[in-house]
Structure 1
């Protein structure tokens, strides 16, 4: 199948989130199975067109993409034109939803069968943040889609609330294979790893909780990542008097990330919103128990016995749970259960499910009429042969 993936975020961009990891891990497996995949992403300083693991990445936009606004604006302006250029060599368009308004209503203008992948629905939060009606754009955009892939059951239910006629396939995220290569080590520190974004990732809640917990824990709080609120975070750590109890690790990837997660005693996820919680699954695979707030998506992947979820945004309870978990006798058994649970999240299996969803999208389009430009999908011909 020839797939044009509107992927928004390049996994090689510094500070890229888990969504871009999912895009690449799925696509490289589809390519290995015979798909041809081109991904259109935003530009960023140092961007380059490349083929990575067989996946063709083409950053689009205007200029270098040196900040979030220019990346977003350039991508939005160029995307319809770039899709039209590649229409004749595309059988299926895949639209990744992205901030701040989720979807550009791609089925209306791609001219090809289109399926969306939804890793987040945060337009309501962004509407409050920017004081713009972004949630209405999201609502209208979701209604233009007929088939979507959701990374969690919780998001799938919200999508159905926006469009009752949707077909939603729930296909989660997978464990980074490198996590299995490093054995669990119950270390001395507590780790946060992710985008440094105060509201979404709950960094303000984390610092408040750590202020309460740090006097009862011997280890430090390690914070790994980059993001728009990095300067704020440095200042907030100083203002809270936590400079000697918090260590900033910067952006981690590959073996450095694997080691940081496996060597932590606990991973904390203080997010106000999450799409899936990929870092939590990675931590469980590494044998590192997780403490998180009880919010949709996270509660799906942190069942009892592999970690702890506490009442959403109750900072005192979060701090107390970190202290209890840190000192828990038998933490090794919790770690072992986490690894067993995480084994169910295989990128190979998830890629097969996504290939099936793509094939179903083409079949559904065929029953509604021939593909744009006439004829039947080459992929479907081969599948039926």
Structure 2
């Protein structure tokens, strides 16, 4: 068989580069599912990402579209099929409506790509043709570093949003840490200033807090590597890539237990000691303080933990993860 050609609206550069070693050429197209299908004459596989909880109109339209070619189509769920922690009435509706979209995609003959094992098992139990392929980190950018500032530094690097736990961060975590730790530096960053605007207005000018409304990827990786702890008070996830990126730079995550990298990987390692069940905010803060005390009183043990974080993350570099992607893509093409 010759080179496998994939047309995708999700194609991180390190994944594209790594897949070439396995005889797979992935081309990126800024297009929705309908447009991908129309552009697909010369491709073996079409990959379309779903990353929003809204109804995928493009998927619905595809039901009435004659396809140009009998392609293998993958519908990539970059969002959870159901929510880890339901606290609003709309969350129950989400759990009813969201799984119907992969069902529709499956009826169209598409494969369903899940980013976590819980969704993968759920898709299989629903009788869907499911794939599990985790995301990876770019270790050429997110490099392991043992060099930490003297100030104990914690970082929040998620998009400010309710489901990311930003309200917990601002109203509980930050006030507690500022009161308990004198030599603390709290860093908050995201790649999108529009999302950062409200939190910037609320926290600007407070001593010990540094806000970066927007950072290029290389600078973001450097800022990430200078932290001791990643604050990850998210309520639900599909994967949690920021945790993997942070660990690749030698940062220890403190998190609620959610599906994805936390549940599938960290809970099987000693890093589960820094994961608590939602909504145990007190337990979350206890874990942060434990790492603070470890760094201050046993820096050698903290550095060993940092090295273990780097080594674990390296297993999920795009170079390594691409092998799993290549296996699955070859499998479904020959199914």
Partner deviation per Cα, 1:323-349 (whole Å, 9 max, x = no partner): 221121221121122122222213122
Does residue 223 of structure 1 match 2:188? Answer: yes
Alpha-carbon distance between aligned partners in 2 of 1:137 and 1:5, rounded to the nearest angstrom: 25
Partner Cα separation in structure 1 for residue 38 and residue 264 of structure 2: 40
- The equivalent of 2:333 in structure 1 is 362
Q: Aligned ranges for residues 1-385 of structure 1 at < 5 Å?
A: 1-7=4-10, 23-31=12-20, 33-41=22-30, 60=31, 79-80=33-34, 82-101=35-54, 104-105=58-59, 108=63, 109=65, 110=67, 111=69, 112-121=71-80, 137-143=97-103, 144-145=105-106, 147-161=111-125, 164-179=126-141, 181-187=143-149, 188=151, 189-196=153-160, 198-207=161-170, 208-217=172-181, 218-225=183-190, 226=192, 228-237=194-203, 243-297=206-260, 298-303=262-267, 304-306=269-271, 308-328=274-294, 329=298, 330-364=301-335
Aligned residues: 308
How far, CA to CA, are the matches of 1:229 and 1:250 in structure 2? 9
Deviation string, structure 1 residues 244-297 (Cα, Å, up to 9, x no partner): 232101223333122212211111111111222222122222222111112222
Question: How high is the TM-score relative to the length of structure 2?
Answer: 0.79
The 1-side partners of 2:327 and 2:144 are apart by 32
Q: Which has the higher contact order (CA 8 A, sep 6+)?
A: 2
Q: Deviations over 1:213-251 (max 9, x none)?
A: 22112212100113554232124436xxx8223210122
Please say if residues 257 and 276 of structure 2, whose CA atoms lie closer than 8 Å, have aligned partners that are also in contact: yes
Contact 2:144 2:310 in 1 (8 A): no
Unaligned 5+ runs, structure 2: none
Contact kept? 2:187, 2:210, Cα under 8 Å:
yes
Aligned 8 A contact 1:101 1:135 in 2 = no
State the shift of 1:134 in Å. 5.9
Q: CA RMSD in A?
A: 3.1
- State the TM-score, normalized to the length of structure 1: 0.70
What SS class does the counterpart of residue 87 from structure 1 fall into? coil
Q: In 1, are the aligned partners of 2:234 and 2:255 still within 8 Å (CA)?
A: yes
**CA offset digits 1:51-108 (Å, max 9, x no partner):** xxxxxxxxx5xxxxxxxxxxxxxx5xxx52x234323222211121220237554874
- With over 3 angstroms needed to count, the CA separation of the structure-2 counterparts of 1:102 and 1:279, relative to structure 1, is farther
Q: Which runs of 5+ in 1 are unaligned?
A: 8-19, 42-59, 61-74, 365-385
